[in-house]
Amino acid sequence: MMTPDVFCPLCRWRPEASSRWTCTRKLGGCGTSWNTFDTRGICPKCSWHWEITQCHSCKQFSLHGDWYHDPHGEPAETYERELET
């Protein structure tokens, strides 16, 4: 399976391995802090699936799946099919 490039679809900021997001209690989450791209947006503690992700640079929200980009120019759906198999 290919490894996608991960960057903000709006400003192209690239998260580092040390970047962290919080499973926000205000929105029904558990408060866990982790790198959301390590788990494709699923909280490792409560299994909540985050469909949106806020960029640390531009502070805008985008669909989590839109952060994954094919380094070879193939459509993003390619990754979803590979994950299903």
Query: Domain tally for the chain?
Result: 1
What token pair was written down for 76? 């993003």
**Which pLDDT value is given to residue 85?**
44
| End-to-end CA separation in angstroms for the chain | 10
Query: Residue 26's domain spans which residues?
Result: 5-84
Which among 34, 32, 46, 40 is positioned nearest to 67, based on CA atoms? Answer: 40
- Gap between the Cα atoms of 74 and 39, Å rounded: 22
Report residue 79's pLDDT band, with 50, 70 and 90 as the boundaries: very low
26-75 pLDDT, tens digit each: 877 899 999 999 999 999 999 999 999 999 999 999 999 999 998 876 54
